[in-house]
Amino acid sequence: MSDTIKKYNFRFKIIGKITLVFFLLTLNFWTYGQDANLLYLKSVAEYEYGNKQNSILLINRAIATEQSAEFYYWKGKILKDTLLLDEAIFNFRKALKLRHKEANLLLAQTYSLKNNTDSAIFFLSAYLKYFNKKSKRVVYYNSDFQNINKSTKWKKLWNKNHYSIVENNFDDAQYLYNYDKKIEALVELNKIIKKYKSFHKAYYLKAKILYEGKNMKEAKKAISSAINYSRKNSDYYHLRAKIYSANKQFDKSIADYETCLELYPFSKEIYYEIALVLAKKKLYDQAIDYMNLYTDAFYQDYNAFYEKANIFFAAGRYLETIKITNILIEKFSNNATYFTLRGKAFLNSNSYDLAISDFRQALDFDPKQTENYYYAGIANYKIKKMPEACADWKKAIENKYYKANEYYYEHCKNYQN
């Protein structure tokens, strides 16, 4: 396994040969010694797939391996969602003991669901003392508090001013952003930045809006300012990594993704995204390691498997590309893009008849993917079927795929009308 993965204490076993079982049956409940963070990611995946029992089993195994605040917090959230409130409270308290500050809010919400006003107010009061708390709108209007938000104690709590002027101003800007009023949000954020220079949240949201608007130069300035004032926030490095990647500054992007993993190794997107950036740098082994980690957990993310197949193809590992696309085509039998990629892998593996079949199939499903004429022409040329090759290249040129020009005018003089 690559040094990049080892650096972040991920001791994963990557299965060498990719098989159908690897993709569709990733949950091996009888194999121990897997890394706790991978078990956490698998738990998140199972929860997203609606398999809450499997999710609990996996997070239990992670906790048995490592007493992590994040693991207890996540388990508490699953239990709260299934209305196992006493068990949820137990795990949130464990997370809080291990200094997970967000646990105070979840404890308040869970106690509210139990109609325990005193405990809910106690933990909510503690949460509201934090600087990095959620906005007043998010907390105050949370539906979990509907059991207590008419009580005297609730009203008394909110009679106090728990949010500063700048936090309230930022809340307004966040509200505008959430309702797609990005220009208005930028105006408010610039006002905040002008008056409160070190309020890093404003720089982050500004950078996010600029990134979404494709203004990468200004987005990079804003997010770098956010990082300058708050160097331990993984979300900030994550956004800058994406900005660097968009600017094709791949080395800097990779460095920021690595910092994300150091600060918070529980965000699934990081593994997927860093794999794509590493592939752009032609660091294929490391890219495959990261993508394997992601797909081992999120085994229903078929787009990720397609991207992994592309990485294998770029690395010249055509057999692995074919194995993955076989599975994708079995699942999505009318996807032209999958047939195109498998056809190219067959072409580079000298399996020309199979390649031609896939290119034809791709064109049947999507005639607009005219690159398939070009590749079918090459495959026919390789097996010396010149009339067919020239017909394919001509068709590619007619459909404005001009990469076929060189082949057509060099090899098809005797077949031109």
Give the pLDDT means over successive 10-residue stretches in the chain (417 positions): 43 34 36 72 97 97 96 98 97 97 97 97 96 93 96 96 95 96 97 96 98 97 98 97 98 98 95 98 97 97 98 98 98 97 98 98 96 97 96 95 93 76
Residue 288, CB-side half-sphere exposure with 13 Å CA sphere: 24
Written as six digits, the tokens of 26 are 């990733």
Look-up of token digits 């609606």: 50
264 found inside a domain = no
Q: Is residue 275 part of a domain?
A: no
3-state SS, residue 45:
helix
Flag whether 24 is in a domain.
Answer: no
Instruction: Decide: residue 382, CB within 10 A, 0-12 exposed, 13-18 middle, 19+ buried.
Output: middle
Counting every residue, how long is the chain? 417
Other beta carbons less than 10 A from residue 137's beta carbon: 14
| DSSP single-letter state for residue 135 | P
Domain of residue 350, residue span = 333-417
Give the closest residue to 255 by CA, choosing from 264, 246, 265, 245: 245
- The reported pLDDT for the residue numbered 17 is 36
234, part of any domain:
no
* 373 domain residue, yes or no: yes
pTM of the model: 0.86
Side chain identity at 413, as an amino acid letter?
Answer: K
**Within-domain flag for 374:** yes
CATH code of 401's domain? 1.25.40.10
Give the separation between CA 87 and CA 83, rounded to whole angstroms: 9
- The pLDDT of residue 415 is 67
Quick check: is 250 in a domain?
no
Cα dihedral sign for 64, 67, 72, 74? negative
pLDDT of amino acid 1: 45
Whether 177 is covered by a domain: the verdict is no
CA neighbours closer than 13 Å in the CB half-sphere of residue 188: 22
- The number of domains in the chain is 1
Helix, strand, coil: what percent of the chain each, to 5? 70, 0, 30
Q: What CA–CA distance (Å, rounded) separates 359 from 382?
A: 15
Rounded CA gap, 356 and 369, in Å?
Answer: 14
Question: What single letter denotes the amino acid at residue 23?
Answer: F
